[in-house]
Amino acid sequence: ILESEFLIDDNRIVEKKNPPAPDAAVRTHFLKALDDTRVRAEEALRANPGDRDALFALSIAQGVATDYMALVEKRQISSLSSARRSNDYAQRLLKLDPKFYDAYLTAGLSEYMLGSLPFFIRWFIHFDNVSGNKERGKENLELVSREGHYFRPFAKILLGIISLREKKPKDAQKLLVDLSRQYPANPLFRKELAKLNGKLGVGAN
């Protein structure tokens, strides 16, 4: 799923014909981890409604649930409810602390995702403080790639995928070079960079 050929091809993302069955044991542990996160974070918020870490944890948990539903279980429409909740928590966090830069990843991805949906679907979907402006979404992701703490590398990955989707391979190449140098033990970055260099007709970096 994390390979670029999957993420830049909408047909492969939404393909529902004979998808591999999710591992039942992994799914059980995964859902339990999400529920544990929710219970602990909501308890923290009851004690302190301004708990930034609790809001961030809830935003992450709902974001991961979105990815699992959309990419693994192939329930793209159903996943929008989790995406909306993830954005809600991120927006609450940013109102409390505009310098909590990691939260801009969720806000930015929500902007880009909503802007990428067909108009007739977008018409029925509302995300708080999200207009579906793809450029604004990319600006938020770029902010995280510079200032983020936890999500800085993930923001670069998302920007690389966006660059490939928008037919800007040299922009993606720069991001992959940076990620490959920063994380030399990760074979996926080197593999993706080698494939892209091959398409661009240049040697490996």
pLDDT in tens, 13-33: 555 566 677 789 999 999 999
Q: Look at 29 and 6; give whichever has higher pLDDT.
A: 29
The reported pTM is 0.83
The long-range contacts involving 83-88, CB below 8 angstroms and separated by at least 24 positions, are: 83/110, 83/113, 83/127, 84/125, 84/126, 84/127, 85/58, 86/58, 86/59, 86/60, 86/61, 86/62, 86/110, 87/59, 87/127, 87/128, 87/129, 87/130, 88/127, 88/128
